[in-house]
Structure 1
């Protein structure tokens, strides 16, 4: 897991024409992606470009025999082959349940030369993909995870044109409230707490969150809790324990919310 590093911001207060007070305020950097990589598993398989299904598609684009030039990601699959694809991979990042993957645009293109880490990781990915060596599958999964992380980071940096999770994660203030919910879903978050995390008044936070993310903070938090709960139940956890772990006051309240979202009652088979 990535460890947040301190981020320093200088606050300057001018009292008069000749008097200035400087204060150094230390704020932790907020990690907007680790919660998703902790919550959802990523696996890949290399395949001929003609195969099509609902899996995310990752294309490594370049000239034959040359280095990678671009990475193209189709989050929702069912897409025609990309021209000049050196490698095509099906990526399973639990897209049906992963809200971040669902929030992405239909096609993302990143020039590898723009991100040195992506260039080097893609070169290692290609080397593993084109050779059959021991540990190949494990290496491909880990390298692809880094590639997808860097693409998602780039997508967050670019922002979004419409409301949704990507727009919220791209927002300079709202993303702090979203990360707080992602990282500690069991905490009894209320609107005042989340507004404080975002550094806003409650009224401004509530209006802006709805405009940017497209829903209310409490509705988003409930949805995130239920997504995590479903994964825990699928792993064999008990309903009562899961309800407590994701922040519901009782198993009954959790079960009702689960039914409203998924249309069936929670069980270890969910």
Structure 2
């Protein structure tokens, strides 16, 4: 596997492994060893991949498992925005390699990519302070169903080879790394130029590709379930849920669309694979 010359020229590097426990863990180890960041780590197979809330998942060969390490990319308060930056980059990359864009290819809050309503990818964003007074390390994990889609998930899953049979994880990584470099650079520029709403440009682009905006949705939260209309995102990336009681801001949760098939599966199954 390799990055494009254009991506490498902007300082990104790649470590490609045959097998590892978790590419996110490998990226964090690199940060603790003093790596300067802009480091991609991929593996053909993961033995102990994980997702949000510590969920475990198998990682069969043929899919893309990649993590990106960034060192001090932003202030701590702005770090959650990087999940939306990564989502946009992934959407752009998949559109580039498959020729399929919105609305068939859509982003699901906060961190999934859907193809015709079925999940093809998830993201895992983790932030760590290497030392109390040290730099902020951000690790972004990407798990993409290139050749295989899991079964028994909380909502349907699909593999990208159903729409492009010759697609490989190598092709997708090259496109993803290039798309992320462009999107990340644009986000940093926009943040500097729009101090009053640094997330505004990314929020607008993300919402243009989002599934379920303006529709009735369900959110499963640790405290229970909430229902309402998905109105949009606030300036910090929180979901705006409108109900008869007003608009509530949701920091994190599992989002379901009643008009799709998501709700027919078990609500407590894992949803991420990294």
TM-score (norm 2): 0.22
Judging by fraction of residues, say which structure has more strand.
2
| Structure number with higher relative contact order (C-alpha < 8 Å, ≥ 6 residues apart) | 2
Q: Based on CA coordinates, which of the two structures has the bigger radius of gyration? A: 1
Judging by fraction of residues, say which structure has more helix.
1
TM-score (norm 1): 0.22
